[in-house]
Structure 1
Amino acid sequence: MPRTHRQHWTSEDRQARRYRYVSFDVPPGAAGVAVHLDYDASLAVVDLGVLDPEGFRGYSGGARDRFAITGVAATPGYLPG
C-alpha cells in the first residue's frame, strides 16, 4: 500500500541542521520501495540518499528526485536487496 510522508523545511531549518531524515518501514513481504521527492528546484537543491538499519543503501545527491529498490534491482547509485 503506498504511503505519503509530507515534510516542509525552510532555510532556517537548513541552518539549524544540515541533514533531515524521514523514517519509514518496509512491511515484510513488500516487493520493494519507491521514493519520489517533490520540491521547487528553483528554490533549493536537495540531495537524496537512503540508509537502512545496516547502514548505507544508496545516494544520488541532487541528480535524482526519485529512486527504487527491490530485492533484485535498484536505481543506479542504490543497492538492491
Structure 2
Amino acid sequence: MFNFSQGQKTNPPWLYAWLWGYDRWLQGWPHATLVLCWLVAGFFLCSTLANRYHHWEQAQVKEMAASIAGEKMGNHTHRNCGIW
C-alpha cells in the first residue's frame, strides 16, 4: 500500500507553539494599547493638577509670609518708638 506521510514535510512543533503565542499576543494588543493610553492620560492629568495645586499653595504661603512680615515690621517699629 501507499504511505503518503513519508513524502510530506511536517512543520516542527515549535512553529505551532510560536504561532499560537503570536496569535495570543495579537489578541491582547488592543487591550494593552488601551491600558497604556489610560495610564499616560492619567499621568498627565494628575501631574497637571499637582502642578496647579503646588503653585496655588506657594501663592498662599507667599501671601501668609507677606502678612507675617508686615506684622513683624509693625511690631519692630513699635519697639523702636518706646511703646513696648
| Shorter-chain TM band | under 0.3
Give the greater-gyration-radius structure (CA).
2
TM-score by length of 1: 0.15
TM-score by length of 2: 0.15
